Copies of this chain bind each other. A is one copy, B any other.
Amino acid sequence: MIIVLKPGASKQEIEHIMEKVTKLGLKPWLSEGVERSIIGVIGPEDALRTVPLEGMAGVEKVLPILKPYKLASLDYQKEPSVIDLGRGVKVGGNKLVSMAGPCSVEGKEMLFTVAESVKKAGATVLRGGAFKPRTSPYTFQGLGEEGLKYLAEARERTGLLVVTELMDVRNTELISRYADIIQVGARNMQNFDLLKELGRIKKPILLKRGIANTIKEFLMSAEYILAGGNPNVILCERGIRTFEDYTRFTLDINAVPAIKSLSHLPIMIDPSHSTGRWGMVNAVSRAAIAAGADGLIIEVHPKPEDAISDGDQSLLPEKFAELMSDCKKIAQAVGRTF
């Protein structure tokens, strides 16, 4: 850590800061420059991270040297994590994963229809929400456990794995019973009690990035789960909030190579929420695979205009099949397969 001093920092102020650092078991050294003097600190930076050095007299700014996450970092593990999702499906390796299904589980028949069609097109995981985070208290909130049962039944019929969202920490056990992969939604990326709970289990977690969270914060949230003892974290970029209002969110495609250069965890893309428009999902999915993403999670609905949620961004099964065919070509061009 480097502490940059104000031009007029007094001798006492400097000594006070150096004492503070020393008391924490670290070794400070002072370097006096013409325009600015600095204090460098040798030793484990974590001890200093919570000390409000910027508030101390004589301090202009503080520059951290180390990354605040460890287990999620490439420094900790050089090889990409390959996470086993069950039934032979893995994410993070050469083979890409396609997760698809309706936004909400709306009914049994509809779910089975979608499940069969996405399976046929090449998906290996079925997505579907049984508990739905909705902006308005007056809209459909999901079928609850009934929806989970339909998902499990769809798994038995098709062999697809099931991913579904856990919103309420009290439902951890319930969701675990039915799902193969537990999704943490963007709104819960910093629901730390939920993350701690998920650190205690071993199920793979699909952790979605918050709409206003940096890549660093994203990896810190992964760190919560890893530090709790669950190494099976799959990251998912799903669009960030910017000033652009033509699309629902802005897909941060940069996040794919950025995360690959910082972490060993797999990174997937959600092109449906990133754009909010079904007509853009194919193009953005191709971009994700080309950039090096490890998979896609896509909303598919047999009759989007009747969907209870997110119909604007849902693909028809035939459009999804087209997308899979297009993305396979891109996968091949980057030396991977679906």
A246 lies within 8 A of B216 (CB) = yes
> How far does the alpha carbon of A107 sit from the alpha carbon of B42 in the complex, in Å?
30
Extra 11 A-B pairs, beta carbons < 8 Å, given A55-B305, A256-B283, A330-B330: A52-B312, A55-B278, A55-B304, A136-B220, A211-B212, A212-B243, A215-B246, A250-B250, A283-B290, A284-B291, A287-B287
B313 lies within 8 A of A137 (CB) = no
List the B residue with the shortest CB-CB distance to A5. Answer: B65
Instruction: State which of B63, B274, B330 has its C-beta within 8 Å of the C-beta of A63.
Output: B63
Given that A63-B2, A290-B290, A313-B55 are known contacts, is A140 also in contact with B50, CB under 8 Å in the complex? yes
Interface string of A29-58 (1 = CB under 8 A from B): 101011110101011111001111111100
A52 lies within 8 A of B305 (CB) = yes
Instruction: State which of B38, B52, B224, B258 has its C-beta within 8 Å of the C-beta of A247.
Output: B258
B254 lies within 8 A of A284 (CB) = yes
Identical subunits present: 4
Provide 10 A-B residue pairs closer than 8 Å at the C-beta atoms, listed in order of the A residue: A2-B38, A31-B42, A46-B138, A55-B314, A210-B212, A240-B242, A240-B243, A247-B258, A254-B275, A258-B280
- A contact residues vs B (CB 8 Å cutoff): 2, 4, 7, 20, 29, 31, 33-36, 38, 40, 42-46, 49-56, 63, 65-66, 68-69, 75, 133-141, 167-170, 187-188, 190-193, 195-196, 210-212, 214-217, 220, 223-224, 227-228, 240-247, 250-258, 260-261, 274-275, 277-280, 283-284, 286-292, 304-305, 307-314, 326, 329-330, 332-334
Measured between beta carbons, the chain B residues less than 8 angstroms from A167 are 191-193
Measured between beta carbons, the chain B residues less than 8 angstroms from A278 are 55
Given that A254-B250, A274-B254 are known contacts, is A244 also in contact with B55, CB under 8 Å in the complex? no
